Structure 1
Amino acid sequence: MVDAWFFIINPVSGGGKGIKKWPKLKRVLINNNIEFKEFFTIGNGDATKLAIECISNGAEKICVVGGDGTLNEVVNGVLQQKHKPSEEILISMFAVGTGNDWVKTMKIPTNTKAFVNTLKDPQYIFQDSGKISFQKDGVQTERYFANIASIGFAGIVTKKANLSLKGGKISYILALLKSLRAYRSSRLKITFNDIYIYENIYNVSVCICKYAGGGMKFGPAANPGDGLFDLTVIKDLPAMEVVRNILFLFSGSFIKHPKVNTYRTEKLSIESKENVLIETDGEFIGNLNAEISIVKQALKVTCYNEFNDEG
């Protein structure tokens, strides 16, 4: 079964889209004579365990049927396992989640037939991963991410969006608007590249890829294989200023705002005495303090985008 695709399916992803869309995807796979095996998650963390199990049983191609959170779990399995080098495991994704942001950077089709065609002779790149050490229930914990890690406002928005049944861009916009009234910037200490920032910060996005929050372009110039994070720091902003700039978040032009600074770095640390939330790949994971570092070209992923020096 070395040539087979090992499908890891999250049936509850996207409010149940995983289980609804799998039968059609399965039929198209069979009609196109694509060899595959199927595995279903039951709860949190299952996709990580299944990825490790699949690789131990000879998998060299894994396809996620789920959202960015399920992809994150699979990536953690691929990078944690010891059976094969991570860069020998090809990862793809049929996006049925809430935000579906990673596939936007990679330009992986979401149409069933078009997606299946990409599995026949897949194009791929080697993309970076991020490794983050953070606080969870008072214990220092480590995990990997494949898309974007955000600290501050995005952590609260993500928690609310994942409770929404609407999915997609609208769930993040509604969660953003609901979060504005109560949220206040936090005093952060950010250290990287001999640069030291200590002030009230609204949000920090550590970007490997371009999109988060259902299509918000937090890393408009990010190149997933260049060995660097694109770091976007949003300083203290009033709520109405955030509302006025929502459309610019989706276009990426918000980085021109005078309260926004962008940098590139291989590693950084973020500290705070306040209770500041962290999300990675669209899932809340814990709190500061955090150490974040790049793991260069650790993942072999299907990709139909062409990246240049400008991302």
Structure 2
Amino acid sequence: MHAVTADDHPAPADRPVAVLANPTAGRGRHRGLLPQVLDRLAAGGRPLRVLDARSRGRAEAACREAVADGAAALVAVGGDGTVHLALQAVAGTPVPFGVVPAGTGNDFAADTGFPADPLAAVDTIAAALRDGRSRPVDLARITTADGGHRWYGAVLAAGFDAIVNERANRMRWPRGPRRYDLAILVELARLRPRRYTLTLDGERIDVDAVLVAVGNGASYGGGMRICPAADPTDGLLDVVVGGRFARRTLIRVKPRIYAGTHVTHPLVQTYQARTVTIAAHGITTYADGERCLPLPLTVSAIPAALHLLR
């Protein structure tokens, strides 16, 4: 795909670059990063506008307002959750987007070619701003039966991992990572295949499964390559289905997801499609690691829906 230049989407020089920074991303280990980010972004030659990120709702609303007000670009400083909020504002628009990976999980940034070092990523973004350069990538758009929709950049989880996340979010004790670990133990004890109906570009598949993931990108969960062949520039979604796994088998196979070798297991099936409908009872999905929409829903690959500053 061709690089999009400033001539494709010109923005007046006085239009600001909007910056969404999550101070709690990465459990706060990059809390002092923002002044350096702003200094280096200023080298891109545009004024900067730091957005209100006091809550998830306010952060998403601030991104939408900035784009509606004519921001020259939007930059997210944080992890996949921060990126997810920002995508809701820039998806499907010509406003270019940059990611400074500063979260616990930085899967979207890694899968789309941003440097892993936050300051190196800022320098890449500043150079793209200065040169008027951006590159198109695909996004996934979720649509529900009632017409609601969300965008995501990495992976939609609609199986065991989504169920674990939902369990952890309902728990008030313990705090921190131990809550997630406990949620895994609880849900492993309750593990059972669920009946899914998948419709892939019009072809219906009924399957009993414990893992279902739909990837625009390859990774989720901080480097777990759940959809290892996914390419966010090919106009397709990768669907990975883990079938009737017993508890012990799932425990043995799950570490292989980091390398992406789980897809060779005989209980794992992989598919590609432009549009995927998923139906199952009682599951709330998670996209880019964020709580998303309940099943049933439809996911569509939208080519070149986002223009990246890199």
Q: Classify the TM-score, shorter chain.
A: 0.7 to 0.9
Q: Distance in 2 between matches of 1:265 and 1:74?
A: 26
CA contact under 8 A between 1:2 and 1:58: conserved in structure 2? no
1:302 aligns with 2:305: no
Alignment partners' CA distance in 1, 2:163 and 2:30: 25
Helix, strand or coil at the partner of 1:230: strand
The alignment status of 1:41 with 2:53, answered yes or no, reads yes
Unaligned runs of 5+ in 2: 1-12
Alignment correspondent of 2:143: 133
Question: Where does the alignment leave 5 or more consecutive residues of structure 1 unmatched?
Answer: 80-84, 304-311
Indicate conservation of the 8 Å contact 2:43/2:126, yes or no.
Answer: no
Q: Distance in 2 between matches of 1:194 and 1:175?
A: 35
Distance 1:31 1:173, change over 3 A: farther
| Post-superposition CA distance 1:32-53 (Å, at most 9, x none) | 8774221131212223211222
Correspondence for 2:190: 182
Q: Matches of 1:173 and 1:110 in 2, distance apart?
A: 26
Q: Which of 138, 151, 174 in structure 2 is aligned with 1:144? A: 151
Using the alignment, how far apart are the partners of 2:104 and 2:192 within structure 1? 26
TM-score normalised by the chain length of structure 1? 0.82
Deviation at 1:17, TM superposition (A): 4.3
Aligned identity (percent) is 26
- Is residue 289 of structure 1 aligned with residue 301 of structure 2? no
Q: Is 1:243 equivalent to 2:251 in the alignment? A: yes
Cα–Cα, structure 1 residues 37 and 110, in superposed 2: closer, same or farther, change >3 Å?
farther
CA gap 1:269/1:223 in 2 versus in 1, 3 angstroms: same
Alpha-carbon shift at residue 160 of structure 1 (Å): 6.0
2:22 corresponds to 1:10: yes
How do 1:60-99 and structure 2 match up within 5 A?
60-79=72-91, 86=93, 88-99=94-105
Separation of aligned partners in 2, 1:94 and 1:172:
26
Q: Which moved more, 1:286-295 or 1:204-213?
A: 286-295
Distance 1:89 1:189, change over 3 A: same
Of 248-257 and 188-197, deviating more is 188-197
Q: 1:153 aligns with which of 160, 174, 182?
A: 160
C-alpha distance 4-205 of structure 1, shift in aligned 2 (>3 A): same
Aligned partner of 2:176 in structure 1 is 165
Aligned to 1:306: none
Which secondary structure state, in structure 1, belongs to the residue aligned with residue 229 of structure 2?
coil
| Deviation at residue 212 of structure 1 after TM alignment | 0.6
Paired residues in the alignment total 290
In structure 1, how many angstroms separate the alpha carbons of the residues matched to 2:112 and 2:179? 22
What is aligned with 2:106?
100
The 1:71/1:19 distance shift into structure 2, 3 A limit, reads: same
> In the TM superposition, what is the alpha-carbon distance from 1:134 to its structure 2 partner?
3.5
What CA RMSD, in Å, does the superposition of the two structures yield over aligned residues?
2.8
Contact 1:108 1:302 in 2 (8 A): no
Inter-CA distance 180–24: structure 2 relative to 1 (3 Å threshold): farther
Q: What do the CA deviations read for 1:232-281 (whole angstroms, capped 9, x no partner)?
A: 11112112112212331000011111011111101121112x21221111
Report the TM-score, using the length of structure 2 for normalisation.
0.82
